[in-house]
Amino acid sequence: MAPGEQGVSLPTAITLGNWQDPPFNRSAFWQTRELLPTHRVGRGDGPVRDLPVGTSGADPMAVAVRRADGTEATVGDVMADTYTDAYVVLQDGELVGEWYAPQGGPDRPHALMSVTKSVVGCVAGNLVEQELLETQRPVTDYVPELLGSGYAGASVRDVLDMRTGVRFREDYTDPDAEFVALDEWIGWRPADTEEAPRGLYRYLATLGADGSSGGNFRYRSTDSDVLGWVCERAGSERMANLMSALVWAPMGAETDADLLCDGVGTAVHDGGLAATARDLARFGQLLLDNGSVPRADGEPRGVVPSRWLRQAWGVDSDLRTAFAATPTELTFPGGWYRNQFWFRPGEYGDVLLCLGIFGQMVHVCRRTRTVCVKLSTWPKPQDPFFLYDTCAAFDAVGGALAGRERSQGWRGLPGIVAGLSRAGGDEPTRDHGQ
């Protein structure tokens, strides 16, 4: 069975009430522009970054992988069984694997959901480099509208690493959870109020606190929304323009992206981006290449500050403790979250991940020089077995393409320095995965 062919017929009656639900999402995620208001993230008029076709002839889909249930399969089996809409595999910047579901194609944008957060993080990194944004300053210095909310007292660094004390439950199935209310306020699902949609920024100002900032990691989409709001204030531009000028155009994107908005025109920073799989692979290659792209003369040109990415790849005892103390440690043992990126120790070295619900993923491994992209429409927002199998599959692809031996079970040790000084801070000293 080819990836994504689960035998579900495509629906025609897609609405705000069902566009994120199966089987409607299988079509809706390819046509967000027709469903919701968007801002255009322009690719500019510069050169497109070339993705030369690899000449090795190796088929990444034929690589063997062990699944979460202990059974053996091929990477192609995993892609087929996890509702894949598209995948792209790069090795050393060359295109070695690519596939699209019948609804999609290399020139069609697909909803990226929370992969958006990582792009917003790169915007923030550029603004820090330009000295327009300071990570240690309170977010309320940039957005005083949040002074009466749970974000009062949180720093820009706290929202970057999702260590605020804001009361927000990221529960996609509980109808009473704040995440469901967020979707209603931004107009992404029907709401029982004549005011709807009331807007993202108004919603953020209503959130209270249930802890102090700077504590343990807890995944909150609203932290990314506050970060985006702060970036717009610091950069004096709306997010779509910041993304275009600071990331999308200079990285050599081939196609304009879309940034979904709420009902009053505010960009949804936590999950609104829709882009092609190839451009997402270019973004992954940018991260792999330490934030640079090759110029015509062969010399690298910086797009995302290398210091910003080195800082993210590094981990100190404080960052690990903040992550290890939460249930998320069970999903990514030995992992951490920094600058809007996920990190996990993989079979062939540490892996940077950009993740979105319903199975969106960018998988970057510096040791194997691979970038793997998967766009999906899982039936549920989260599925731990699908997530495990996809990570294992992409680990295996990287190892096979690079001819690398596994890391012999190394997973990193909580509290042991892997990239920064033991005291923490923003100056990387060394990092893994080289």
The distance of Cα 162 from the centroid of its chain, to the nearest Å, equals: 14
Asked about 213 being catalytic, the answer comes back as: no
Cβ within 8 Å of residue 403, ≥6 positions away: none
Residue 379 and residue 22 in contact, taking contact as beta carbons nearer than 8 Å: yes
Q: Which amino acid is at 366?
A: R
Catalytic residue among 9, 27, 56, 114: 114
Contact present, 427 and 420 (Cβ < 8 Å) = yes
Nearest-10 crossing angle of helices 221-235, 178-186: 40
Catalytic residues: 114
